[in-house]
């Protein structure tokens, strides 16, 4: 059975090689954004932690900040550790890239860049992956295509629970990506041109 690796032990390993890079809050290891790559490299190379497998790399928009979440796994010792890094700059969130540490971070970082707009410095090929260059906004941010009346994406409540949870403007539903009423409909032509690209 895979066990959770102790965040405090991980913090000690990280701080030994990159002082002040890690701290533990509520049993979760938080990393200093600027030192993420070094910190994770030390966790990977340490004999005790042996976190050599990057399971998952993703981000969460916590409205005030972005949280980049890494799930690292040790195969031989069979433990897993969730690591987070907080990015408070919503305008231009940047984080060092993990591609030098884990080759598998390439595509996952591109996905996060595409959908959250988080820039990974040092990524060799940071381009949008699912959407095309020039797509307006970053869809997985909570303020993507914000409606008048501050409606944000997400489900405020079950319809039966309370009328307060219903959408404030009757008849209006949040516009989703590629909704026909979208004021800036994503250009289909952009895809077509890209698809015919040749050299």
Partner 1 sequence: MTTADDTRSMMDDSRLAMQGTIEALDSGDGSEPVVVNLGPQHPSTHGVFRLKVTLDGEIVRDAEMRIGYLHRSMEKLAEERTYTQNIPFTDRIDYLAAMSNNLAYCLAAEELLGVEVPPRANAIRVMFAELQRVASHAMANGTFINDCGAWHTPLFHMFRDRERVLDMFEMTCGARLTTNYMRIGGVAFDLPDELLPTLEQFLADMPENIANYEALLMENEILHARARGVGVISPEMAINSSLSGPVLRATGVPWDLRKANPYSGYEDYEFDVPVGEQGDCFDRFLVRMAEVKQSLRILRQVIDNLPDGPWLADVPLHARPEPGESYARVESPRGELGFYLVSDGGPAPYRFHCRPPSLINLSALKEMSIGGTLADAIVTLGSIDIVVGEIDR
Partner 2 sequence: MSGLSGFSSVLGAWYDFRDLNNLQRLITEWIAEWGPDWIASIVTGVLGALAILGVIGPTLLILIWVERKVIARFQQRYGPNRVGPKGLLQPVADAVKLILKEQLAPRSADKLLFFLPPVLIFVPGILIWGVLPFGPRMSVADLNVGVLFLLAVSGTAVLVLFMAGWSSNNKYALFGAMRAVAMSISYEVPMVLALLTLVVFSGTMSVNGIVEWQQQEDVIFILLFPLSAVAFFFAASAELNRTPADISEAESEIVAGYHTEYSGMRFGLFYAVELGNTLVVSGFIATFFLGGWWLWGLDQWVPSWIILLVKTGAVYFLLIWTRGTLPRLRVDQLMGFCWKALVPATLLFVVVAFVERTLLISEGWDTTVALPIMAVFNIALTLGAVMLFARVSRPAALRRPARIRMAGAEIGGLRAARQVASRTEEPQFQVGGD
Which residues bind to partner 2, rule: CB under 8 A?
50, 52-53, 74-78, 198
Secondary structure of residue 10 in the 3-state scheme: helix
- Judged by CB under 8 A, the chain residues 128 through 147 that form the site for partner 1 are 128-132, 139-140, 144
Determine the interface stretch with partner 1 among 5-13, 17-25, 87-95, 173-181 (rule: CB under 8 A). Answer: 173-181
Considering the complex, state which of residue 3 and residue 94 has its C-beta at the smaller distance from partner 2.
Answer: 3
Q: Does 60 bind partner 1 (CB under 8 A)?
A: yes
**Residue 156 binds which entry of partner 1, partner 2, none, CB below 5-8 Å type-dependent:** partner 1
Say how far apart CA 120 and CA 31 lie, in whole Å.
Answer: 15
**Residue 74 binds which entry of partner 1, partner 2, none, CB below 5-8 Å type-dependent:** partner 2
CA distances, 61 to each of 28, 66, 126, 155, 168 (Å) = 17, 5, 20, 15, 23
Q: Does 24 bind partner 1 (CB under 8 A)?
A: no
- Strands 28-31 and 22-25 turn out to be antiparallel
CB of 12 to partner 1, least distance (A): 20
Say how far apart CA 70 and CA 160 lie, in whole Å.
Answer: 37
CB atoms within 10 A of CB 12: 15
């Amino acid at each position: 059975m895979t066990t959770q690796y102790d965040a405090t032990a991980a913090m000690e390993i990280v701080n030994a090689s990159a002082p002040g890079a890690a701290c533990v809050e509520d049993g979760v290891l938080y990393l200093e954004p600027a030192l993420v790559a070094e910190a994770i490299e030390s966790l990977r190379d340490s004999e005790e932690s042996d976190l050599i497998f990057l399971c998952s790399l993703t981000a969460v928009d916590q409205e005030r900040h972005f949280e980049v979440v890494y799930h690292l796994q040790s195969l031989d010792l069979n433990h897993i550790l969730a690591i987070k890094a907080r990015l408070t700059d919503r305008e231009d969130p940047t984080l060092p890239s993990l591609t030098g540490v884990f080759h598998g971070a390439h595509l996952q970082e591109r996905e996060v860049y595409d959908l959250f707009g988080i820039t990974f410095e040092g990524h060799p090929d940071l381009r949008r992956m699912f959407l095309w260059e020039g797509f307006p906004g970053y869809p997985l941010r909570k303020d993507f295509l914000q409606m008048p009346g501050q409606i944000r994406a997400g489900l405020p409540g079950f319809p039966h629970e309370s009328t307060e949870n219903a959408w404030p403007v009757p008849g209006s539903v949040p516009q989703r990506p590629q909704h026909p009423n979208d004021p800036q409909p994503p250009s289909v032509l952009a895809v077509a041109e890209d698809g015919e690209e040749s050299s």
